[in-house]
Structure 1
């Protein structure tokens, strides 16, 4: 049987799951922050500091909103949120994963946020039986490792990459494209999928260093300028993308930059400068936050003082899936894992049902193109799946 979420989330009515009070007993000696006696926890795993922090903060705030709403409705049996700051580094991921595993009160996680840190942490979560739902790690191979605890609340690069390629080919009608990636698990994989779609239109390709290791991109800028292309695709994250766009513009390259969800953040515009970033196309296997159902957008802004960013709503939904399981009395790791595996229900960003490997049901995946316009990232159009 598919489980249904039992509370009103972000103003969206969910189907009834259980009667109130079945989650856990308010008795016992365990205590958690806030004075309740249940002591159950969920965690967020992602970058909260460092050069990759913007996306992680977006997601953590979504999770925080979900937990605060849950605790307001379940004051006698609250759930604690544990933020795990990975700084987006695969090198830090194993020790951070072990920290989560060792805390037996952590029943599930939202994250890891990035593909590289997922590759490093997820085998440990699988061995420990700790369920985790990533709101943003899109490398396809993550679902192909046989990990029983891995779930993905968005489409993978097999959906985003072809969509980006089709947008370049069919909407922009670029006849020559230069493709760059940052050699990360995410960036290289996404660039490879774009290349498959573009085929002979790829006039050249190159690799740069990510994670803040490179700031001078004059070498690749010279190659792009010589290729005289109609578009540049970048597989990687916003910190390098902003510098590349800035340096391309300074060199007189006017071809628009196209990039994936790792660049879909205001931080990219801040890095590139509004004038250089203007016209950039950013894809995402997610809908615009403004399209989120119910009152999510208003409630998020009330909590954080900011508009929801990329994957804020998806992380919110992922957290609510875990919280629905806890509400249903799935208060050990094995039973919560089984709950998530069989979950089906509505969130504010999408309808959720997981298929083989923990992937989101392909029928529920949407890919959108966003455009930088007037110094802001604004929705452009939903991209057809094929």
Structure 2
């Protein structure tokens, strides 16, 4: 009860901040549509920039950074700033960051949150502040179950990715025995559940924890099961350590994992030899093969190849920027703009239009399989829809 009261009071405080800030903006700034501009707006990025999952978050932030760099070059007289909210991928840190973003009336929208757990922990706050969000990567299906109003997802969810991974294991790897492990996160558990639904009977299942480093007990279960494939639902640090220890113990099977593992840092953690042959899925096409000048522009700015979801983040950031350019300079107007949006991303080639619950139009959802080969994550094949 005390926690519920605190949440209610916190929501009231955020609403008061937003209302007060909006009043101040109205008196200080020229009214949009009256031939003048609002030129001190911010676009937020919410995700892991430090910590064990930072490799994923940094690619996404860099995609947003590129979109802003290009926009501000073309609109030097009315720039948009980037506000970063480093969650470290920890759902416990998300509510305070969400309150901070909601209370900053200059933040017109958020790219993110990047992960499912932190999104789940923040949606009440974003809804209370009418702050529109487009996540480029949080894939837990239940995030769109409630009538949040502000939630949008720029990729398919795990109802697409999980079954695709399951079909790949059955139809391509033709595995007869599969062991399934998840890290008990909102994302990892949900993804593993969808994979098991497709596989039916599995050789065994186990649960580990985020930040766990000793996987001896789980490795023993995997070996005893006789499984030739290990599916892991979770993120790259735990996946890398689990696989490294399994291979060291003599297990010679193939790991399959989802987009939370689809990062070069997985190879660093597992080691080149252990990681070789691992299959990684993603409800995204390869960022390194993105359309237009995205790859060249990204490399020129960041001095690195674009990683998972960098191209998606770029495209969804540009949706917000198109809205600002069109004079949508309040959260309510921006939300209406996104809800009615129908345009093709220049990097992904995806047509971004959203269902009433914020999900991406199902006709635009795809899932790719990637493979670790020669010390790198390389595209393998788009997995056909079931």
The normalised TM-score by structure 1 is 0.90
User: Is the CA contact (8 Å cut-off) linking 1:37 and 1:76 kept in structure 2?
Assistant: no
Give the distance between the partners of 1:45 and 1:60, measured in 2 at CA: 8
SS of residue in 2 equivalent to 1:310: coil
Instruction: Identify if the C-alpha distance between structure 1 residues 134 and 37 changes in structure 2 by more than 3 Å, giving closer, same or farther.
Output: closer
Corresponding residue for residue 368 of structure 2: 368
Give the distance between the partners of 1:285 and 1:169, measured in 2 at CA: 19
Give the distance between the partners of 1:251 and 1:171, measured in 2 at CA: 26
Give the distance between the partners of 1:385 and 1:188, measured in 2 at CA: 22
User: Is the CA contact (8 Å cut-off) linking 2:38 and 2:329 kept in structure 1?
Assistant: no
Give the distance between the partners of 1:106 and 1:356, measured in 2 at CA: 23
Corresponding residue for residue 64 of structure 2: 63
Corresponding residue for residue 339 of structure 1: 337
Give the distance between the partners of 2:174 and 2:89, measured in 1 at CA: 35
Matched, 1:122 2:123: yes
Residue deviations 1:158-211 (CA, integer Å, cap 9, x gap): 0000000000000000011000000000000000000000002x110000001x
SS of residue in 2 equivalent to 1:357: coil
**Mapping of 1:25-174 within 5 angstroms?**
38-174=39-175
SS of residue in 1 equivalent to 2:314: helix
Matched, 1:176 2:174: no
Corresponding residue for residue 322 of structure 1: 320
Give the distance between the partners of 1:251 and 1:183, measured in 2 at CA: 24
Give the distance between the partners of 2:288 and 2:223, measured in 1 at CA: 37
Corresponding residue for residue 13 of structure 1: none
Q: CA deviation at 1:379?
A: 0.5
Consecutive unaligned residues in structure 2, runs of 5 or more: 1-27, 31-36
Residue deviations 1:43-72 (CA, integer Å, cap 9, x gap): 000010111111110000000000010000
Residue deviations 1:244-291 (CA, integer Å, cap 9, x gap): 010010011011000000000000000000000000000000000133
SS of residue in 2 equivalent to 1:82: strand
**Mapping of 1:18-29 within 5 angstroms?**
none
Matched, 1:191 2:189: no
User: Is the CA contact (8 Å cut-off) linking 2:126 and 2:150 kept in structure 1?
Assistant: yes
Give the distance between the partners of 1:168 and 1:37, measured in 2 at CA: 52
Q: CA deviation at 1:351?
A: 1.6
Runs of 4+ in 1 over 3 A off after TM superposition: none
User: Is the CA contact (8 Å cut-off) linking 1:371 and 1:379 kept in structure 2?
Assistant: yes
Q: 1:288 aligns with which of 286, 289, 297?
A: 286
Corresponding residue for residue 355 of structure 1: 355
Matched, 1:248 2:246: yes
User: Is the CA contact (8 Å cut-off) linking 1:238 and 1:265 kept in structure 2?
Assistant: yes
Corresponding residue for residue 6 of structure 1: none
Give the distance between the partners of 2:138 and 2:206, measured in 1 at CA: 23
Consecutive unaligned residues in structure 1, runs of 5 or more: 1-26, 30-35
SS of residue in 2 equivalent to 1:263: coil
Q: Number of aligned pairs? A: 353
Give the distance between the partners of 2:58 and 2:250, measured in 1 at CA: 34
Q: CA deviation at 1:293?
A: 1.0
User: Is the CA contact (8 Å cut-off) linking 1:43 and 1:84 kept in structure 2?
Assistant: yes
Residue deviations 1:101-150 (CA, integer Å, cap 9, x gap): 11100000000000000000111101110000000000000000111000
User: Is the CA contact (8 Å cut-off) linking 2:288 and 2:305 kept in structure 1?
Assistant: no
Give the distance between the partners of 1:118 and 1:380, measured in 2 at CA: 30
Q: CA deviation at 1:356?
A: 2.6
Give the distance between the partners of 2:29 and 2:60, measured in 1 at CA: 33
Give the distance between the partners of 2:285 and 2:226, measured in 1 at CA: 33
Give the distance between the partners of 1:248 and 1:78, measured in 2 at CA: 51
Give the distance between the partners of 2:339 and 2:112, measured in 1 at CA: 16
Give the distance between the partners of 2:221 and 2:288, measured in 1 at CA: 38
Structural RMSD (CA): 1.5
Give the distance between the partners of 1:189 and 1:228, measured in 2 at CA: 25
